[in-house]
Amino acid sequence: MSTNEKILQSYNESNYKEILDRLDTVIDDMGNTIIHHIASKLDKDSIESLKKLDKKCITYTLMNKANKNGDLPIHLALKTLIEKDADSHDFIDYLINECHANPNIPNNEDMVITQKKEPVHIPQSSAPQTDHFDFISKLIQYYINSFNQPTAQIKGGYSSKRIIRSKVSDFTDSDVLPDSGVNDTFRLTKNKRIHHKINNVDSQDGGKRDPKITDTYNQILKKIIKVLNVDEATAKLYRMALKKKVIDDDPDLRKGSNDAKKMEAIEKLLGDDKNAKKVLNKISPDTIDGLRTWLSEQDAKRSENSESIKKKDDKPKEKKAKKVTKKAHESEKGYLHSDEILFSPDYF
């Protein structure tokens, strides 16, 4: 019996201890892992059983590993739901909110997962006057909540993923709004979104760069995707880890003027595909998750700073003559500019 057959047999027999260390092993010609298989079966119980054995076993990298069609486990799960014409897509919610699944990663057909929202029916109220005011009050509060808290919290750290489900937890009038999740259905759509966060923040675009360096930079990314069979966003995190490694070995490479040498050092470190796989496998999942979390924290700081600046700008100003020096103006502009750039070329 082959390793692939043993993994499938262990899964069918609910022998989760046997497959716990083989969750990322490819089990068929399509490049699927056992997680792809479990997701296609909509098998939440098996995922929960694995998490009971090791609460950290379902990682972002594992859950967003693509097969040969570029399909992630979440793509296969949604296809199953669509084939079954299922009324509830709670399993998709579960994969996103509890298992780090990223709905924004396109497959080879450039399809991503989006929420299909159905209109919420709000009937006329025929209740007594006091209930009518209560009805209006709740309705107003609902829209206030919708503007102030338009999205639900998604666990699992930064993943460059859209938060696609909105919850209103303290709205109890079922005649006005159905229970959260009733209208949560999803669909595969063409990816029209520019992935700004991870695509542009890991020090790739710090000013104009020599086209040869940019080409080398992209070739390194393609090699990581090929060797590890991961999505582009995850590959960029591995590339960040490699840059940190070569800079730790030679701090002088931190300078933006040494970008060419930095790329050469990374290429030399990776070598051929066989050696590259060994090097990349030495980068622990904790390191990748740490980089992802750090990105999330930096993104939160930028959002906080932007909100602070917005509040300051929106605050009514006294009609009072005030001299603004050129130095102060440049300082403020400099702050705003630095707030826009998560990584400078000198960082890596």
Tally of domains within the chain: 2
Residues 198 and 178 reside in one and the same domain: no
Comparing 18-32, 47-61, 191-205, 235-249, the range with the smallest average pLDDT is: 191-205
pLDDT at 317 over 70: no
Residues 211 and 159 reside in one and the same domain: no
User: Based on the number of CB atoms within 10 Å of its own CB, is 101 exposed (0-12), middle (13-18) or buried (19 or more)?
Assistant: buried
Q: Where are the alpha helices (DSSP H) in 117-210?
A: 129-148, 196-201
Average pLDDT over residues 227-241: 88
Give the pLDDT score at 52: 95
Could you write out the three-class secondary structure of 316-341? CCCCCCCCCCHHHHHHHHHHHHHHHC
pLDDT at 71 over 60: yes
- Between 171 and 274, the more confident residue is 274
The Cα–Cα gap between 99 and 95 comes to 5
Residues 182 and 315 reside in one and the same domain: no
- For 188, the enclosing helix (H) or strand (E) is strand 185-190
Give the pLDDT score at 250: 81
pLDDT at 39 over 70: yes
Provide the domain limits for residue 9: 3-190
Residues 18 and 115 reside in one and the same domain: yes
Task: Provide the token pair at 251.
Answer: 């701090």
- Max mean pLDDT range (123-132, 261-270, 322-331): 261-270
pLDDT at 159 over 50: no
Residue from 45, 13, 44, 11 nearest 25 by CA = 11
Please, what sign has the CA dihedral across residues 20, 79, 81, 173?
positive
pLDDT at 76 over 90: yes
Residues 203 and 157 reside in one and the same domain: no
Task: Provide the token pair at 254.
Answer: 């931190």
SS3 151: coil
Average pLDDT over residues 245-272: 83
Residues 134 and 146 reside in one and the same domain: yes
Tokens 């089990």 belong to residue: 27
pLDDT at 110 over 80: no
- Between 47 and 336, the more confident residue is 47
Tokens 């006294």 belong to residue: 318
pLDDT at 329 over 90: no
Give the pLDDT score at 209: 56
Give the pLDDT score at 2: 87
Residues 7 and 98 reside in one and the same domain: yes
Angle at 28 between CA 26 and CA 34, to 5 degrees: 55
Domain boundary among 190, 224, 257: 190
Average pLDDT over residues 149-158: 37
Domain boundary among 172, 190, 208: 190
Residues 114 and 244 reside in one and the same domain: no
The CATH number linked to 61 is 1.25.40.20
pLDDT at 312 over 90: no
Domain boundary among 190, 221, 241: 190
- For 111, the enclosing helix (H) or strand (E) is strand 111-116
Residues 129 and 260 reside in one and the same domain: no
State pLDDT tens for residues 191-200. Answer: 544 344 444 4
> Mean pLDDT of all residues in the chain?
71
Average pLDDT over residues 329-339: 32
Residue from 56, 72, 73 nearest 286 by CA = 56
Q: Which amino acid does the sequence have at 100?
A: H
Give the pLDDT score at 120: 47
Q: Which amino acid does the sequence have at 66?
A: A
Residues 219 and 320 reside in one and the same domain: yes
State pLDDT tens for residues 287-301. Answer: 888 888 887 777 777
Q: What are the respective helix, strand and coil percentages of the chain, to the nearest 5?
A: 55, 5, 40
Average pLDDT over residues 29-42: 94
State pLDDT tens for residues 111-141. Answer: 888 776 544 444 444 444 445 555 556 555 5
Q: Which amino acid does the sequence have at 281?
A: N
pLDDT tier at 230, thresholds 50, 70, 90: confident
- Tally DSSP H helices, then E strands, for the chain: 15, 2
pLDDT tier at 216, thresholds 50, 70, 90: confident
pLDDT tier at 41, thresholds 50, 70, 90: very high
Enter the pTM of the model: 0.44
Average pLDDT over residues 99-117: 81
Residues 151 and 19 reside in one and the same domain: yes
Residues 247 and 166 reside in one and the same domain: no
